[in-house]
Amino acid sequence: MVRAYNPNTDEALINKAYVFGIRAHGSQTRASGEPYFNHPVEVAAILTDLKLDDATIVTALLHDTIEDTAASYQQLAQEFGSTVADLVDGVTKLSKLKLVSKESQQAENLRKLLVAMSKDPRVLLVKMADRLHNMRTIGHLRDDKQRRIAEETLEIFAPLAGRMGMQSMREELEDLAFQVINSEARHSIMRRFVHLRNSTEEDFVAETVAAIEIALKSAGVSATVSGREKRPYSIWRKANIRKISFEKLSDIVGFRLIVANEAECYRTLGVIHRRWHAVPGRFKDYISGPKSNGYRSLHTTVISKTGQRIEIQIRTPQMNEVAETGVAAHWAYRDGVRSENPFAVDPFSWLREFIRKAELGTPAGEGGEEFSHADFLAETKLDIGFEQVFCFTPDGEVINLPQGATMLDFAYAVHTDLGNSAVAAVADGRQVPLQNEVRNGQTVKIVQSKGGLPASFWIDIVKTGRARAAIRKTLRNFERKNAATLGKRLIEGVFEQAQMPFSTRALETAAEKLGAASSEAILADVGEAKLSAHDIFKAVYPEVEHGPGAKHAGESGENLPMIVRGNALSAMEGAPLIVPAAKCCSPIPGDRVIALREPGRGYFLHTIDCDALALFDDDMERWVDVDWSPEAHDKPINTVPVELVLANEPGALGTVCSLVGASGANIADMIFQDRKPDFYRLEIVLEVRDLRHLTNIVTTLSAQPAVASIDRRRHSPEFHGVRAPAIVTAANDPLTIGKKAENHVD
């Protein structure tokens, strides 16, 4: 088989590989029961159809020896040379990769697959032939294993074969996998084929071939004309993409015209269009604009005399070889020498360019973003699984995108800054929305807005991982910048409250002590509530006992003292008293309050509606009526927690903080309780003068569109890791009320 296209083949080398392989595999058998070595021989036979070199054929014969026999890399290198040993080792490593698995593992394994291909594409050619033969004989495996292998084939190997230009192999892999995954749909399509054949009085394919040959001969064009029905999976996929039933698909038969040279291709196209009516929008010129894998051909669709659509491809023999075998044409031999096909592309170029783009995430010359696993998977599957669309910038630069990509993807493919500032697109002189898909051959101009920023929903519009990563990075940088501004305000407020100096040097000291990357990172972390402003203060002034956080409700230590007056608490009528505030309800001046006696601890101030008071309904002797002393309203700082539901949009949190500051209050602490794509739920500890001050702030914030709700936290069983105060045993009650209190809190 090799000698048929390569008379100069090293027959001794191939015989040696055959003998080595059959001895190494010995008595091993396949699931069908046949000798295992039949499989490597069939893989090698598949590769002879591609007219590949001796090293590739030998690799096929030996491709399972390292993995499944006692043979080693060193042994193969000694017997067959380092090139064959490296190829066999590469195929072995590919065989161990699980390409359909959890997202992170799948992304890494795909990356390894692409890197291996970039080193020597012949590794992939052997692996593809190996997979093709395994799919041809898959019926002998367990159903679950059949489905796993078929899914991997349909999701990874078939699209990759197409991306490498190996169209015939792609179609067969797809159809074999389709038969395993959705046999019912495939059988339905096959039945439809039979019905069409039976309902047609004359052989449609033969009749059309004859008509085309007559038309070309009369015009003096010599051509080889062939026609065939499309494979079931191709038809099923087209029906799904167009969202139409099989019965409405008319272009299920394709015709191929092979002519002598490029000039004859265009001449033949003219003959076809003069003979039959062309379908508008169904002409593609891949000769003047070839695909990145080297594919060249003219495509057109015409209407037959019976009203049926006829798809026609026109190409030269060299173009046809590349169209059928893709990058394999680069390695093909003919008459004992390497084939010089002018249309065969360097198989390294596409792989290296794709890996560069996938690793960087941006066009050349920009500082790239590192892809997430999801980004890399999306980019890889788009690039290998879809037809490519070629469009142009106003300067004539060609931009290559996967089919289905949007105008926004185009903008980010040109430059990240262009994508970030895009507001609309002009395609072929007509303004269109950014979410419109780009079409082959369009000239696209992006309309910009100076200083614009991407919207978060753009992530759902774009199709390419590069665009998605760029949008995410830009939004993240914007959010971090806003968070840094907010963090600086919070830190300055805490330092000012403690009457301690704040400076850039102090911030750098805190960053160094807390192990932060920079002072900017410290500011952003405080703004995002990953650190508190109190943490920064303590890092700079660790010995200052009365700094921020020393006596705040809900933190360690005693509760904040509150100034009240009550006859039962003082011998002097109306004399002011200092009573600690209970953490469970955080009373502030203006609240209706009760002082509750806790034996062994003294009195604690509660709001009249505090749940803790319900525990002592039967022990009213503990209750003492008190009122706020006028001095209490003069106290500048009283802390109270509020719960805020805030839209997750740029600037929302900054607006809240700015309004709190403008209202003469301060934010002592901030805890993010829940983060969702569309909202945040957080608890903010406000420093206010009294109830009226708090009410005014709540009113102001409630009026903001970004604020969904704001409520005062009346009862906080757990606040900064400290539980609500336990109620101790009553002096005149033998029962332990503490257990009742604990149950109530739970």
Catalytic residues, by residue number, are 67-68
Phi-psi region of 726 (alpha: psi -120 to 50; beta: other; left: phi over 0): beta
Closest CA to 398 of 414, 387, 412: 414
Closest CA to 627 of 603, 601, 595: 595
CB-based contact 113:99 (threshold 8 Å): yes
Amino acid at 322: V
E strand spans, 77-175: none
CA 34 to chain centroid, in Å, comes to 44
Closest CA to 317 of 384, 258, 250: 258
Q: What is the spatial distance between Cα 414 and Cα 502, in angstroms, rounded to a whole number?
A: 44
Q: What is the spatial distance between Cα 659 and Cα 409, in angstroms, rounded to a whole number?
A: 38
* 492-503 CB burial, b ≥16 within 10 A, e <16: ebbbebbeeebe
Given strand 444-448, what is the order of strands in its sheet? Answer: 430-432, 422-427, 444-448
What is the helix (H) or strand (E) element at residue 564, kind and residue range?
Answer: strand 561-565
Rg of the Cα trace of the chain?
38
Q: What is the spatial distance between Cα 158 and Cα 132, in angstroms, rounded to a whole number?
A: 10
How wide is the angle at C-alpha 643 spanned by C-alphas 640 and 648, nearest 5°? 135
Bridging pattern class, strands 561-565 and 627-628: antiparallel
Main-chain phi, psi angles of 573, to 5 degrees: -60, 130
Q: Could you write out the DSSP letters of every residue in 186-199?
A: HHHHHHHHHHHHHH
Burial group, residue 722, by CB count within 10 angstroms (0-12, 13-18, 19+): middle
CB-based contact 421:448 (threshold 8 Å): yes
Q: What is the spatial distance between Cα 388 and Cα 284, in angstroms, rounded to a whole number?
A: 12
How wide is the angle at C-alpha 688 spanned by C-alphas 684 and 693, nearest 5°? 110
Closest CA to 294 of 164, 422, 126: 164
Helices (H), 415-552: 416-420, 458-461, 465-497, 504-514, 519-527, 533-540
Bridging pattern class, strands 707-712 and 638-647: antiparallel
Residue given tokens 């092979």 in the structure block: 258
CB-based contact 701:655 (threshold 8 Å): no
What is the helix (H) or strand (E) element at residue 700, kind and residue range?
Answer: helix 691-702
CA 463 to chain centroid, in Å, comes to 10
Fill in the DSSP letter of residue 675.
E
Q: What is the spatial distance between Cα 664 and Cα 98, in angstroms, rounded to a whole number?
A: 60
CB-based contact 327:165 (threshold 8 Å): yes
What 503-511 contacts at long range (C-beta under 8 Å, 24+ apart), as own/partner pairs, is: 506/540, 507/536, 509/539, 509/540, 510/536, 510/539, 510/540
Q: What is the spatial distance between Cα 584 and Cα 597, in angstroms, rounded to a whole number?
A: 15
Q: CA end-to-end span of the chain, whole Å?
A: 81
